[in-house]
Amino acid sequence: MNAKAWAPLAAVCVLAVGRAVTAAPPQRAPDADDALLHKAFSAVASEETAMRHESAKSFPTEMWSRDDDFHRREQEKVRDWAGSHHVRRGDVFRAMDEGIRAHWPQTNGAPLVVTVPPCRPRAIY
């Protein structure tokens, strides 16, 4: 084998490893205060009715799958909101949990669904 042929690959690997070793870790997001937690809850919870409606379109007869699809949509909303406000996702999920338990107000006024449908076999396979 010719060592010259492998030299560019070896150089790139050495540079990549050197960059990885010397790179600074990303900055940790600051802790969310109560006002930001309430804001996060309001932003995500106010979309619940619309997200559940969209999930019902996808799974008209499957309550469990509908609920699962809603939580996928909710997770996307949490991820997007946390990213745009530079907050940890865990803080937004904590806000959702605390807000549901403490009955925090939300902008659309619709009651939040706090139950889980039973898991049943699908009607159509």
pLDDT digits (tens, 9 = 90+) for 6-39: 889 999 999 999 999 999 888 887 888 899 999 9
Q: Whole-prediction pTM value?
A: 0.73
Report which of 123, 101, 121, 122 is spatially closest to residue 112, judged by C-alpha positions. Answer: 101
* Residue burial 9-32, b: 16+ Cβ < 10 Å; e: rest: eeeeeeeeeeeeeeeeeeeeeeeb
Euclidean distance between CA atoms 14 and 51, whole angstroms: 48
Euclidean distance between CA atoms 45 and 107, whole angstroms: 8
Reported as a single tens digit per residue, the pLDDT across 75-97 is: 999 999 999 999 999 999 999 99
